[in-house]
């Protein structure tokens, strides 16, 4: 069997996801469980392979039951955070909590200033945004996540990061033990079959063939392990990116707004503060052209310790 055959299912899954992404929620501009269903189906397929095939491979490789229990614990932990992110309140702004929501953050008058949501007909607190997919305003809005079919905001963003972290550890642990077990039970037998060729030919081609044959000795577990390994750098990058944003006092939504400000500075249309039209004539402060984004202070960056505290213990609406 060819080595490339292992990669085919992974490519098919990626193409299916791209197809769903194109025709799904982004096309309807409304909350849609299609991608959420796809994720659950994909997760379930992985668990099925784990139960019916990978557990047997781990037992044949004499992996300690403690490590198998660790994998199960990581699965249940990750599923808990996933389900919580799906059903949790991101910080929906309503008539009953609008007063509290307005008091959490001040308007910086750079990327946030007093206004009213045209859809909800409520004042828009600083750092909030109306989600067109969920049709609601969310406090400290970060983004709408199609994987959860829910918004990530002030009240549930920590669980979103916990989900990413637990998923990353699960991917690393499971893929490592799966590949270790596959090579432990198959590699020596495969190598003996290639021994005569390996003595005279130690090129990359023969090594590739040996590795492929070893993996195909346990095709289902090997395919699952390679797919999980493929996801590791993607999830790691996303986790680092999202954590970094929070620690510097930004959300994904605010990061885009700051990017617009930086573009304005580049185009020599820099501002320090948005001044209401009725107050512009009476404002006698000297006007300074902003030449670099560093000249503007982000008032929502309280330092990484306080930003972390806001993440773990956010104020409730």
Q: Where are the domains of the chain?
A: 10-85+156-246, 252-312
Question: What span, in angstroms and rounded, lies between the C-alpha atoms of 204 and 263?
Answer: 48
Q: What confidence score (pLDDT) does residue 27 get? A: 46
Q: Which tens digit of pLDDT belongs to each residue from 76-111?
A: 999 999 999 999 999 999 999 999 999 999 998 889
Per-residue pLDDT of the chain (317 residues; tens, 9 = 90+): 444 444 555 556 555 655 555 554 444 456 778 888 889 989 999 999 999 999 999 999 999 999 999 999 999 999 999 999 999 999 999 999 999 999 999 998 889 999 999 999 999 999 999 999 999 999 999 999 999 999 999 999 999 999 999 999 999 999 999 999 988 887 666 656 666 555 555 555 656 666 667 777 788 999 999 999 999 999 999 999 999 999 999 999 999 999 988 888 877 665 555 555 556 566 666 666 777 888 888 999 999 999 999 999 999 88
Q: Is residue 46 within 8 Å of 265, Cβ to Cβ?
A: no
In 61-156, where does DSSP find H-type helix?
65-87, 98-104
Q: What confidence score (pLDDT) does residue 4 get? A: 47
Question: What span, in angstroms and rounded, lies between the C-alpha atoms of 260 and 198?
Answer: 59
* pTM for this entry: 0.82
Question: What span, in angstroms and rounded, lies between the C-alpha atoms of 86 and 89?
Answer: 9
Q: What confidence score (pLDDT) does residue 32 get? A: 75
Give the tokens for residue 120.
């909800």
Q: Kindly give, in sequence order, each residue whose CB lies less than 8 Å from that of residue 144, ignoring residues fewer than 6 positions away.
A: 31, 131, 133, 134, 150, 151, 152
Q: What confidence score (pLDDT) does residue 297 get? A: 87
Q: What confidence score (pLDDT) does residue 26 get? A: 47
Q: Is residue 90 within 8 Å of 133, Cβ to Cβ?
A: no
Taking residue 270's Cβ as centre, other Cβ atoms within 10 Å add up to 18
What is the Cα 293 distance to its own chain's centre?
Answer: 27
- Annotated catalytic residues are 145
Report which of 70, 68, 50 is spatially closest to residue 222, judged by C-alpha positions.
50
Give the tokens for residue 38.
């796809």
């Amino acid at each position: 069997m060819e080595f490339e055959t292992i990669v085919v299912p992974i490519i098919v899954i990626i193409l299916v996801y791209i197809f769903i992404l194109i025709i799904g929620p982004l096309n309807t501009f409304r909350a849609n469980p299609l991608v959420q269903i796809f994720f659950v189906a994909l997760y379930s397929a992985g668990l099925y392979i784990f139960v019916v095939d990978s557990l047997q491979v781990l037992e044949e490789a004499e992996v300690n039951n403690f490590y198998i229990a660790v994998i199960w614990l990581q699965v249940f932990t990750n599923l808990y955070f996933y389900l919580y992110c799906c059903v949790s309140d991101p910080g929906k702004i309503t008539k009953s909590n609008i007063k509290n929501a307005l008091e959490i953050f001040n308007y910086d008058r750079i990327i946030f200033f007093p206004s009213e949501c045209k859809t909800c007909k409520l004042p828009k607190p600083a750092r909030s945004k109306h989600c067109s997919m969920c049709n609601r305003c969310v406090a400290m809005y970060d983004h709408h996540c199609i994987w959860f079919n829910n918004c990530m905001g002030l009240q549930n963003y920590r669980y979103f990061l916990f989900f990413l972290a637990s998923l990353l550890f699960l991917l690393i642990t499971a893929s490592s033990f799966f590949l270790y077990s596959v090579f432990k039970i198959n590699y020596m037998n495969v190598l003996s079959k290639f021994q005569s060729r390996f003595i005279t030919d130690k090129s990359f081609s023969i090594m590739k063939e040996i590795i492929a044959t070893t993996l195909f000795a346990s095709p289902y577990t090997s395919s699952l392990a390679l797919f999980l390994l493929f996801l590791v750098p993607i999830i790691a990058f996303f986790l680092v990116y999202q954590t970094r944003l929070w620690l510097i006092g930004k959300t994904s939504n605010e990061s885009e707004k700051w990017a617009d400000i930086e573009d304005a500075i580049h185009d020599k249309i820099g501002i320090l503060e948005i001044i209401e039209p009725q107050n512009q004539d009476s404002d006698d402060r000297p006007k300074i052209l902003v030449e670099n984004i560093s000249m503007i202070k982000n008032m929502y960056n309280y330092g990484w310790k306080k930003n972390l505290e806001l993440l773990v213990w956010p104020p409730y609406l």
